Amino acid sequence: MKLKEFLKQNPDSVNEDFIPARKRDVKKMEMKANKIITMMKELAKDFKKVHGTKEGQLWNKSKDWEDLARKADSEYGGWFGYVYDSDFIGDK
């Protein structure tokens, strides 16, 4: 059940202070998140170029940075995938 449907059926549980985000603001946030992810991936590649990965510590750190970029991509993508299908975004 969507939030809007629930609120129509239960009008006394409406939170008067809730204001959904504007779609264009969420879109701006998504574009910034995509830039961050791109920069993180480029930074992980640059790390390999600058430091190499012959030493164990450098290899591990290189993989940590790649994993960090992958996790950020997953977290941001998951949130924006959810929020576009939720009631947290208004019509404008």
- Whether 7 is in a domain gets the answer no
Q: Residue 71's domain spans which residues?
A: 21-83
Q: Note the pLDDT of residue 47.
A: 94
The per-residue pLDDT for range 14-34, each reduced to its tens digit, is 556 667 888 899 999 999 999
DSSP line for 39-83 = HHHHHHHHHHHHH-S-SHHHHHHHHHHHHHHHHHHHHHHHHHHHH
- What pLDDT band is residue 40 in, cutting at 50, 70 and 90? very high
Between CA 38 and CA 19 the distance in angstroms is 31
- Whether 74 is in a domain gets the answer yes
Q: Which residues pair with 89 in a beta bridge?
A: 21
- Whether 48 is in a domain gets the answer yes
- What pLDDT band is residue 2 in, cutting at 50, 70 and 90? low
- State the total domains in the chain: 1
- Whether 28 is in a domain gets the answer yes
Is residue 89 within 8 A of residue 20, CB to CB? The reply is yes
Q: What is the pTM of this model?
A: 0.72
Give the tokens for residue 68: 């960090």
Instruction: Using the predicted structure, report yes or no on whether residue 86 has a pLDDT greater than 80.
Output: yes
- Whether 79 is in a domain gets the answer yes
- Whether 2 is in a domain gets the answer no
